[in-house]
Amino acid sequence: MTDTHYLISDLHIGGDEQLEQVDFLEELLAFLRELEERDEDAELIINGDAFGLWEFTEVDGPAKFDALLERYPELFEQLRATGETMPITLIPGNHDYELAAYDEYVDRLAEYNVTLEQAVTITRSVGDHVVHVEHGMQRDPGNRIPDFGNPYANPPGYFVNRQITSRAGRLSGRGRYNWLKDIQAVTPMTQIPDWMISNYFYREMSPLLRYASVPFLLLFNLATLYLGVFLLDWTGVWSLPMTLVQDVLALFGPVGDLVNLVLAANLVVIGLLTLISVPLYVFARDVRKTLRRFGLVRPADDQDPAEKYVDGAREVFAEDPDVAVFVYGHTHRPSLTEVGERVVLNTGTWLKRLRRVDPVLGVVPAVFYSSYRLNYFRLSPADDGGVLVEYEVLDKPDPREETLLERLVTRAPAREERIPSRTVVSPGHGDEVDAVEAGEPTAED
């Protein structure tokens, strides 16, 4: 067995209609060709969700593999070519869990020089140390497979995916913009409602209605302050603030009159919202209690999504001191987290990434900025006997799909923390993890 391992995950290749599109296919083929041409004793590990089998709703079982072959023949031929010079190992994730449920997939993938290990976790050696690899769905209550290997043991996430993600793929082409297909890139899933509202407002709403409402929405926060000034004047407590506001607006002539009109209209809206907010609150509270009784809504969990994986890594490190690196995917957030003398790696995703940015003014919907991080980790023996962790990001320009209005109402996303491009892990030497130099940004935001 080799001591050098390349790791990627969460490609999500395949699905109904618009989900069939793979934005990074050329980059993936180029990466596989590069591995094919490298003269080194190494292994490529795809640790889950290589394929979007959950997203196929018109075919079942191993027939989904035929659909993949039909749609991506060039990819499978390149896997065959790369696998002739470098072993390729695949483990199931939740979206391609069926790989673990049907033995036929083992033989079919072997035809293309891909070794399918139908296991939740695998281990690999790097020198004298061990690398623990898993997809991570078993640590996620919504996607944990209750009876691994049983084709009918699907978690709640499977049914949500069938009803939402797959349908989004079928409907995406009907919109003004082909955006629904990107629903897989929204993490965590609790942000999906906000993401849909955002896309409706900035893309699907009638332009006339959108731009007619923008002044009111942008000035809504200012209108709440104006309400306070108005109440002070109306009650006779203090008239000076209202006088100053009217004098300032008068300086701008017709524009000031228009702003005054918008503020007055917003006052009416705020008054109406205040009147209906009490009965709406009572109704929403009762609905929440009912949904909780049926187990459809859970109390809010303030825990960092990565924390449960770090806790799981600590358990693995305690059980087996030889494990120096814990690797998982699933959350689509590439990261390198130091745990004492060891590290926890998240292999991220090659899907489009969406970062939520709140507006700087008003009550317009949040904007979701899109980007790519086509990343991989390379683990090999370090000179000091430890594990060398190398992090690389393949070049792919961000899609820059944001509209002019989206860019006007938000600031560009803040620069993210960087993952070290070279990290040396030497457990047992009494030293902390040694990060050599800065690399690409992480997605732990």
pLDDT in tens, 77-87: 999 999 999 99
Do residues 429 and 386 lie in contact, with contact meaning Cβ atoms separated by under 8 Å? yes
Task: Please indicate, yes or no, if residue 211 is contained in any of the structural domains.
Answer: no
Question: Are 52 and 193 in the same domain?
Answer: yes
Task: Please indicate, yes or no, if residue 122 is contained in any of the structural domains.
Answer: yes
Sheet holding 374-381, edge to edge: 114-116, 88-91, 42-47, 4-8, 374-381, 387-394, 418-425, 434-441
pLDDT value at position 442? 47
Query: At residue 328, what are phi and psi to the nearest 5 degrees?
Result: -145, 170
Question: Are 281 and 363 in the same domain?
Answer: no
d(CA 346, CA 336): 7
pLDDT value at position 302? 52
Q: Rg of the chain over CA atoms, in angstroms?
A: 26
Do residues 356 and 191 lie in contact, with contact meaning Cβ atoms separated by under 8 Å? yes
Task: Please indicate, yes or no, if residue 41 is contained in any of the structural domains.
Answer: yes
- How many structural domains comprise the chain? 2
- 34 to 53, 211, 251, 376: CA distances (angstroms): 27, 49, 66, 13
pLDDT value at position 272? 81
Mean pLDDT of 226-232: 86
Residue scoring higher pLDDT (384 or 389): 389
Question: Are 64 and 177 in the same domain?
Answer: yes
pLDDT value at position 297? 56
Task: Please indicate, yes or no, if residue 333 is contained in any of the structural domains.
Answer: yes
Question: Are 24 and 161 in the same domain?
Answer: yes
Please name which of 11, 88, 99 lies closest in space to residue 62, comparing C-alpha atoms. 99
d(CA 347, CA 328): 6
Please write the tens of the pLDDT for every residue from 105-139: 999 999 999 999 999 999 999 999 999 999 999 99
pLDDT value at position 437? 57
Residue type, 292: R
What three-state secondary structure class fits 353?
Answer: strand
Do residues 348 and 329 lie in contact, with contact meaning Cβ atoms separated by under 8 Å? yes
Task: Provide the CATH number for the domain around residue 152.
Answer: 3.60.21.10
Do residues 131 and 1 lie in contact, with contact meaning Cβ atoms separated by under 8 Å? no
- Report which DSSP code applies to 89: E
What is the domain extent for residue 88?
A: 4-204+305-441
Is the confidence at residue 441, as pLDDT, over 70? no
pLDDT value at position 46? 98
pLDDT value at position 416? 75
d(CA 387, CA 338): 13
Of how many residues is the chain composed? 445
State pTM to two decimals: 0.85
210's CB contacts (< 8 A; 6+ apart) are 201, 202, 405
Task: Please indicate, yes or no, if residue 166 is contained in any of the structural domains.
Answer: yes
Task: Please indicate, yes or no, if residue 299 is contained in any of the structural domains.
Answer: no
Question: Are 133 and 279 in the same domain?
Answer: no
Question: Are 382 and 278 in the same domain?
Answer: no
